[in-house]
Structure 1
Amino acid sequence: MTKTPRIAVLGAGYTGLTIANLLARRTAADVTLVNDRPDFVERMRNHQVAAGRTVRRRPLRDLVSGTGVRLVVDRVTRLDPAARHVELAGAAEPLGYDLLVYALGSHADLDAVPGAAEHACAVAGVEQAQRLRDRLRTAGTVAVVGAGPTGLETAAELAETHPGHTVRLISGGTLGRELTEPGRDHLRRVLDRLGVQVWENTAVAKVDAGGVLLEDGRHLSAEAVAWTAGFTVPALAGQAGLAVDEHGRMLVDATLRSASHPEVYGIGDAAAARTRDGHVLRMGCGPGSLAGACAFHAITARMAGRDPQPLRVKDDTLCIGLGAWDGILQSTGLDGVPHGKPLTGRPVALIKRAVLRVTGRYNPRHPGIGVIAARQG
C-alpha cells in the first residue's frame, strides 16, 4: 500500500456508510464513499413509505460531514481489480484504490417472473415504494407477492394504514415458515385481524395490468402489485473476475476478505459472508451489520500488522413488525430453522422502533456503537 492508503467504499447503505465513517475516523487512510444517489435510504422503512408514511430525507453529505469521508455521488459501471480502479458513469477518470470495500447491496429480482418488471412495484427500492404509494391513492386492491419478513411487514402495514383496501398476500410456501408454531399462530391472528387475505403454497406465474396469474391457472385481480419475492445482487463483482457464488454474491473468507482478491472486502447483501464454522449469513441489515463490523476490525488489524479475528455468529434473530403496535421476535439458527418461543405483540413493536431509530438515525452519525455491539472474538 502507499504511505497514505486509499480506501474506496462502494455503496452507502447501512453497512457501507457505517464502515466508511469508521475507517475515516479511526485510520489514517483517505476514504472515498461512492453511492448512486445523494440521500441515505432507510431500506427497512420502505414498507412504511409504500403505505404513505413520511420518512425524513437524510442527505449523505450531512451524514459524512466532519468525518473525513470524501463523498462521490455517481454510479459504478465497472471494476478493474488488476489496475485497482473503479469506473464511474459520470467521471472521465477512474477512481483508484489500494483497498476496496464492496457494499453495493441487493435489489428486488423483478426478472424472476414475466410482467413483474412492467407491472409490479418492488418494496426494496425507495423509488418503487413511492410508486406503490402513488398507486394506492386510487387502487382499492393490492397483491403482495412474497411472504418473507419484508412481505409480511408490507402486507400488515398496508392493511393497517389503508383499512378500506383489500390486501392479498401470496406466499410461495407455508405462511410463517421462518417461525415456530406459536409465532405462526400469532401471525395468522394478526393478519386475520387486519383483514389480509392469504394464499399459501401458491406460485405466481405472471404479473399483468390487472393483477397476478397463479401457476394453477387462477387469476387474482389487483390494481397494484407489491413485489417482495426474492432479491438479487449487482453483477459487477463477477464481471470483474472476482470469485462469486451461484447467486453472484462475492465469496469472502471469515474476515470478509475476497476469496480471490485480498485487497477487496465484501460486506452486506452483495457478499456471501461465512462464519468460521462455514455458515453463510442471510441477506439482511442485522447480519450485514455484523459482517461490516468484522470487516472493519479485520482491516484495522491488518493495517496494524495483527492477525484479525474471524466472524463469529452463533444464531440469528428475526424482528418482524406487523403494523404500528404488533410484531414477532423469533430466534433462529444460522440455517434458518426457528427455535424457542417467540416474543410477540406490543413489546416487539417497541423493539422494532428502537432498531429503526438506531440503524437509521444514530448509527450513520455515531457508528462506533455498532462496532462495540458486534465486536468479534
Structure 2
Amino acid sequence: MAKTVVILGAGWAGLPLAHKLLKYTLPKVKELKVILVSPNTHFYWNLAAVRGVIPETFTDDQLFLPIQTGFARYPDGNFQFVLGKASGIESESNLVKITKNDEVETSIYYDQLVIATGSQILSDLPFKPVGTHEATLESLHSLQKQIDAAKSIVIAGAGPTGVETAGEIAAHYGAAKEVTLIIGGDHALEASNVLPSVSQTVEKDLQKLGVKLIRKTKVDGTHAVEKGEGSSVKQTSIILSNGNTIVADLYLPLFGVKLNTSFAPANFLDATGSIILDKTMRVTGTKNIWGIGDVGNLEPKQVTVIDGMIIHLSAALDAVLTGTGGVPEYKLGKPMIFITMGKKYATGQIGGWKLWGFLTAYVKGRNIFVDTAKQYVDGKALRHAAM
C-alpha cells in the first residue's frame, strides 16, 4: 500500500522538500508517493523581484522556472504534480480538498500532509506569486511598465522588500526618478530586529542613492488624481499620518503579508493566521499534518530560515515513513538578513555579527542568486546547504 505524502505549495519550502523525500526516502520506502500541489506551473525566484520589477534587468526565464522539469528523473508512480490549490482539510478522514485551476474540486487522500503554501504581499503586488504563473507574469510586466514611466515613486514600508526596492530603483535610474521611502518607525528594518549598525548603514546608503526618507509616518489613505486638466494620466495622492500629502506618479505599498492559510481549519491557526506548530513542526493537535515556511509560527517569515526547516522536516518525515525512530525537536536558526541596493551598496547580519558590505554586495548584489535558481528548482542544491 502506498505511503502518500501530499505537499501543498511548490515554493521555497515545498518544492525542495518534495525533492528531498524522493531522493533520500524513496530508496528506503519503495511504496512512497509524493503529490505536490501548486497553482503555478513555474517557480518564481522572487528573491530577485526587488530588481526584477525594473524592466530588462532580468529575463522572464531567469525569474520563472518550470517546476516539473526537475521531477522527470523520478518514477512516474512515485510522483504526481497537481495544478491547483487547497480549499479545505478534513483531518478526520485524511483528505485535502483541491480546487484545480479549471475550478473543478477534488479530494486527495494523504498519509502525511505538509502545508507549505507561503504568503503574498498584502497589496497583491507581484513581489510574490499572485495566483497562477500567467497572472503573476502579467502583473509583473504591468508593474515594470509603471515603474519605467513614473518620474516620482513613493514606497511605503521599510522592511527588506521596501528598502531593497527603493535602493534598486534609485541605483538603476539615478536622478531621473524621485524615490521616497516612508518609514513607519524611527528607523528602516525596525520590525526585522536588526542591529542598529545595520539599520544605520542601510539608511546612509539609501540617502547616498538619493532616496528621500520620511520617518515615524504611515499612510492613512490614497486616492487617484489627474496629472493635469484633461489628462488621462493618473497620479496618486498619498495622505500621511504626519499631516502631509504627497502626490506621486506611482505608489508602492510594500508593508505587510497575508498568509495563504484561509483553507485551513480555524483551530489550526493563531490570531495572525499562522499555522500553530509544535516543536517538531507538526500542526499542534495532529499526528500527521506538518507546516513549513511562512505559514508556520516558529520562525520569522524570511527565506533565510528555509534551508534549516527543509532539512529538519525531511528528516522527520523520513523517520515517520521508515519507522526508524522518533522525531527530534526543530532548532531555531540564527537571525540572518542580507540587504542589497543595486550592485554596489549592501549590508547584512548573521546572528549578532554585522557583515561587510563589500562581501554582501559581491555574493548577493551582483545578480541576487539568479544563477543558482535552476539548481534549486531542479532539486540539486538548497540555498546555503547541500541537497
> What TM-score does the superposition give when structure 1 sets the normalisation length?
0.85
> Residue 72 of structure 1 corresponds to which residue in structure 2?
82
Q: How many Å separate the matches in 1 of 2:342 and 2:169?
A: 8
Query: 294, 300, 303: which is aligned to 2:318?
Result: 300
Q: By how many angstroms is 1:94 displaced?
A: 1.5
Q: How many Å separate the matches in 1 of 2:367 and 2:205?
A: 21
Q: By how many angstroms is 1:246 displaced?
A: 1.0
Structure 1 residues 146 and 371, CA gap change in structure 2 (3 angstroms): closer
Query: 266, 269, 275: which is aligned to 1:244?
Result: 269
> 1:123 touches 1:226 (CA, 8 Å); kept in 2?
no
- Are 1:286 and 2:298 counterparts? no
> Residue 335 of structure 1 corresponds to which residue in structure 2?
none
Query: 223, 235, 241: which is aligned to 2:249?
Result: 223
Instruction: Give the greater-gyration-radius structure (CA).
Output: 2
Q: By how many angstroms is 1:61 displaced?
A: 1.7
> 2:67 touches 2:378 (CA, 8 Å); kept in 1?
no
Structure 1 residues 367 and 261, CA gap change in structure 2 (3 angstroms): farther
Query: 33, 54, 65: which is aligned to 1:58?
Result: 65
> Residue 42 of structure 1 corresponds to which residue in structure 2?
45
Q: Deviations over 1:10-43 (max 9, x none)?
A: 1111111000111122223111111111111112
> Residue 266 of structure 1 corresponds to which residue in structure 2?
291
Q: By how many angstroms is 1:302 displaced?
A: 1.9
Q: By how many angstroms is 1:253 displaced?
A: 1.4
Which amino acid letter does the alignment assign opposite residue 227 of structure 1?
A: P
Q: How many Å separate the matches in 1 of 2:383 and 2:148?
A: 38
Q: How many Å separate the matches in 2 of 1:89 and 1:300?
A: 28
Structure 1 residues 88 and 363, CA gap change in structure 2 (3 angstroms): same
> Residue 107 of structure 2 corresponds to which residue in structure 1?
94
> 1:7 touches 1:32 (CA, 8 Å); kept in 2?
yes
Q: How many Å separate the matches in 2 of 1:369 and 1:217?
A: 47
> 1:79 touches 1:236 (CA, 8 Å); kept in 2?
no
Name stretches of at least 5 consecutive residues in structure 1 with no aligned partner: 111-116, 274-280, 333-338
> 2:307 touches 2:385 (CA, 8 Å); kept in 1?
no
Size of the aligned set, in residue pairs, is 348
Q: How many Å separate the matches in 1 of 2:306 and 2:382?
A: 15
Question: Residue 150 of structure 1: SS of its match in structure 2?
Answer: helix
Q: How many Å separate the matches in 1 of 2:369 and 2:260?
A: 25
Question: Residue 155 of structure 1: SS of its match in structure 2?
Answer: helix
Which amino acid letter does the alignment assign opposite residue 206 of structure 2?
A: L
Percent identity among equivalent residues? 21
Q: By how many angstroms is 1:260 displaced?
A: 2.0
> 2:348 touches 2:357 (CA, 8 Å); kept in 1?
no
> 2:87 touches 2:263 (CA, 8 Å); kept in 1?
no
> Residue 229 of structure 2 corresponds to which residue in structure 1?
none
Q: How many Å separate the matches in 1 of 2:213 and 2:261?
A: 34
Question: Residue 148 of structure 2: SS of its match in structure 1?
Answer: coil
**Aligned-pair Cα RMSD in Å:** 2.3
Name stretches of at least 5 consecutive residues in structure 2 with no aligned partner: 130-135, 225-235
Give the alignment of 1:125-136 within 5 angstroms.
125=129, 126-127=136-137, 128-136=139-147
Give the alignment of 1:44-193 within 5 angstroms.
44-52=47-55, 53-55=57-59, 56=62, 57-68=64-75, 69-90=79-100, 91-110=104-123, 121=125, 123-125=127-129, 126-127=136-137, 128-163=139-174, 164-176=176-188, 177=190, 178-193=193-208
Question: Residue 328 of structure 2: SS of its match in structure 1?
Answer: coil
> 1:146 touches 1:171 (CA, 8 Å); kept in 2?
yes
Query: 213, 222, 230: which is aligned to 2:239?
Result: 213
Q: By how many angstroms is 1:316 displaced?
A: 1.1
Q: By how many angstroms is 1:6 displaced?
A: 0.8
Q: How many Å separate the matches in 1 of 2:271 and 2:372?
A: 30
Which amino acid letter does the alignment assign opposite residue 198 of structure 2?
A: G
Q: Which has the higher strand share?
A: 2
Q: How many Å separate the matches in 2 of 1:196 and 1:371?
A: 32
Structure 1 residues 155 and 272, CA gap change in structure 2 (3 angstroms): same
> What TM-score does the superposition give when structure 2 sets the normalisation length?
0.83
Q: Deviations over 1:285-329 (max 9, x none)?
A: 111332222111111112232012211135211111111222111
Could you tell which deviates more after superposition, 89-98 or 253-262? Answer: 89-98
